[in-house]
């Protein structure tokens, strides 16, 4: 019986931590820019992303939808019908879902 309470308590603690550290849309915008830089592995692309700054942030924000499920978030950015990025956000991190 005591084990059940311990397990239940741990589940509650993990759920509270997950809820407190669910990433936001701004975090997703920063994550996308970092991912594009990594995947391109090109100085010119990195420079372009840095140069565009707030304008690129606005474009990403306007094409992004995020669904918050308390303990995690699912965000998706659609640049075109075929070109989209989807990720699961949990514990202040994003995991790609494509």
CA separation, residue 1 to residues 10, 14, 15, 23, 44 (Å) = 15, 20, 22, 36, 61
Predicted confidence (pLDDT) per residue in 36-57, tens digit: 888 888 888 888 888 888 888 8
* Residues 73/89, Cβ–Cβ less than 8 Å: yes
Predicted confidence (pLDDT) per residue in 59-80, tens digit: 999 999 999 999 999 999 998 8
Q: What does the DSSP 8-state code read for residue 32?
A: H
State the total domains in the chain. Answer: 1
The whole domain housing 6 covers: 2-96
pTM score of the predicted model: 0.82
């Amino acid at each position: 019986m005591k084990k059940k309470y311990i397990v239940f308590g741990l589940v509650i603690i993990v759920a509270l931590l997950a809820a407190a550290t669910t990433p936001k849309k701004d975090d997703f915008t920063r994550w996308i820019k970092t991912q594009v830089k990594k995947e391109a592995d090109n100085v010119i692309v990195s420079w372009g992303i840095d140069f565009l700054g707030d304008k690129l942030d606005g474009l990403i924000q306007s094409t992004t939808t995020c669904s918050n499920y308390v303990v995690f978030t699912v965000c998706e950015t659609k640049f075109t019908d075929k070109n989209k990025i989807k990720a699961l956000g949990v514990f202040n991190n994003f995991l790609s879902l494509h």
